[in-house]
Amino acid sequence: MPHTPVISVKTLVATFPEPEFVPGGDRLWIVTRGPAVMVSSGPEPTVIMEKDPSSAGLAIGGTQYLGLMGTIPCYATGLASDAKVPEGYSFSGARELFGKIPDDEVALAAYALRILDYDRTTRFCGRCGAKTRSLKTERARLCTDCNRIVYPRISPAIIVLIKKGDEVLLARSPRFPKGQYSVIAGFVEPGECLEETVHREVLEEVGVTVKNIRYFGSEPWPFPDSLMLGFVVDHAGGEIAIDNNEIEDAGWFCRDNLPILPSQLSISRALIEAWHRHEI
């Protein structure tokens, strides 16, 4: 069963060029501060602000066009670190908003943070050091000196569920919350195909070999710039031998003795739940 990502921006179309005139002046705004996004309080919280933040007296900067929601342009902008939070609003990390606001808004919040981070970190050319400027025809920045074009970085990573009979291999990273386990994941190295990455990461982290690689689905993970590519594999041989670096514990688990699992937001949880339902 193909995985439908939670944090994919389905309601936003990154249409270029950016509209220069909007009938009625309608615009939508996502306001951020550092790695957090502003969210309204009340029974139906939202990260979408329909009123121009500057007209509400907020000191903003670094505004970036995100795309169209229907026919209305949507923008991300940053609030000064020392600016007062407006009444009825608070700031939250995008991941912490899961389950509190609609999934599409979680995706929009994460995307806004990602695009603002891209804008901040590419204002100077990585080749010659000159300033860059945003292009109006696509999501890119152009060096004003050597004409190098810089696009938002996307870092591909594999995430893989390993099956052996009625058991699944789950591992624990020292970075995880206490008691939490997940599936194996790792970034694709230059020159590797995805299948090679699956074999290498599994062998490096837990010491086993695998076979029968099947594609599960993908999910953008803009924290800040990963694209997670999910696979299901079968155990081919070897005993678990953790690397004691990325992994501090690993084991085989059956459906009735699963440990604490990752957030519902993640493709790792989607992989485990699909296995638990006997779908993969």
pLDDT digits (tens, 9 = 90+) for 199-255: 999 999 999 999 999 999 999 988 888 999 999 999 999 999 999 989 999 999 999
Angle at 275 between CA 7 and CA 199, to 5 degrees: 80
**pTM across the whole model:** 0.86
Same-fold call for 23-121 versus 155-276: yes
Domain ranges of the chain: 23-121, 155-276
Cβ 63 vs Cβ 109: under 8 Å: no
Q: Report the mean per-residue pLDDT for the chain.
A: 90
Q: Mean pLDDT, to the nearest integer, of 55-78?
A: 85
Cβ 49 vs Cβ 38: under 8 Å: yes
pLDDT at 131: 97
Q: CATH assignment of 23-121, given 3.90.79, 1.10.1240, 2.60.40, 3.40.50?
A: 3.90.79
pLDDT at 215: 97
Q: Model confidence at 54, in pLDDT bands (50, 70, 90)?
A: confident
% of the chain beyond a pLDDT of 90: 69
DSSP for 211-262 reads EEEEEEEEEEETTTTEEEEEEEEEEEE------SSS-SEEEEE-TTS--B--
CATH number corresponding to 155-276: 3.90.79.10
pLDDT at 17: 87
pLDDT reading at 4 higher than 80: no
pLDDT digits (tens, 9 = 90+) for 138-175: 999 999 999 999 999 999 999 999 999 999 999 999 99
* Weakest-pLDDT range from 21-30, 84-93, 107-116: 21-30
* Weakest-pLDDT range from 72-76, 81-85, 268-272: 81-85
Task: Name the DSSP class of 182.
Answer: B
